[in-house]
Structure 1
Amino acid sequence: MIRNKSFLSGLGIGIIAATIMLQLVHSAQSIEQRTKEQPAELTKEALEQFARKQGYKLVSAADQADTPAQPDAEKAAAVAKAPEVQPPKEAVPAAAAAAQEALPPAAAAPVAQAEAPVVSLPKKSVTVPPGSTAAGTAALLANAGIITDQQSFLNLIIQQQLNDKIIATTYTFEGTPDVAEVVKRLTTR
């Protein structure tokens, strides 16, 4: 029995050693073949031919300098440099009055100048620690005033099978977002 074990062990080790040697020879041949494809000293013609073979086109630095800059980049730079033009404050009421005079008497209703008030929603932040459960996260969100109903948050998390996908970090929300939006933000990077 021991003789058979020794023989089988030797045979297995021999097969493994032969496989490793075969892999080394094969990789050496492939490296040698790759170096034969690339000439040792490339001339410009040889480099262009090799580039075409690989699917590239060579452009010299002089040719690249002669071509005009990207038009999109020039337009973006011109727009960034252009000063913002705003009409004078007196022109807005005058234009509204002129438009009202041009209308027929039946359609001449007072033109209301609507200035949209700038309203900034209150920002609320919450930090979800690593290892938080869905219930613990719901309690944190409710205490921070981000969600109003913990149960609807938990139901949505469980329904979408995301209870173990909550990412631990600090989140900032504006106003009172929808529960689905909160779940999406907490579970995606």
Structure 2
Amino acid sequence: MFKNRAMLSGVGIGLIAGAILLQVMLVAKGTGAAPMPAGKAAPEDMDPKQLKEVAQKYYQVYDKNEKLFTQADVDKKVQDALKAQPNPNAGAAGKKVAVYVSPGLIATQVAELLYRSGVVADRNAFEKMLNEQRLTDKIQVGYHVFEGTPDPQQVVQTLLSAQ
């Protein structure tokens, strides 16, 4: 039926022999799992507290019941809070406003956030002032609290100080 029947049989036998030799080498080497060093327990033998301590050396470990928020979740909650304000530009004397500057925000986005929070009256003027003073890359990440209606220079000083 096949002209090259002997060749195909040889290739098949060669593949089978190679697979068998590979399996023999793997069995001779071990199961692939490195033996545990003396004095160290396998993860299956540890209680949850010990396992958590070992894992904290290399990873951030959180309890299963602890609610974690992604950046998108935080941004959505901030946007919802901003939409819920009736007039974001009305700043009452003595009113405290907390603004969270997240990592990666540029000066334009920070100016927009401050404008929507009612901290600054003119976002373009505030952004221009930051550019003129070359402070656009010095804004600190974190929560910044503003009381009343601060002048733009006080806003800049608050944004530059670590909270």
The two structures have a TM-score, normalised by structure 1, of 0.36
Greater percentage in helix = 1
Larger relative contact order (C-alpha < 8 A, sep ≥ 6)?
2
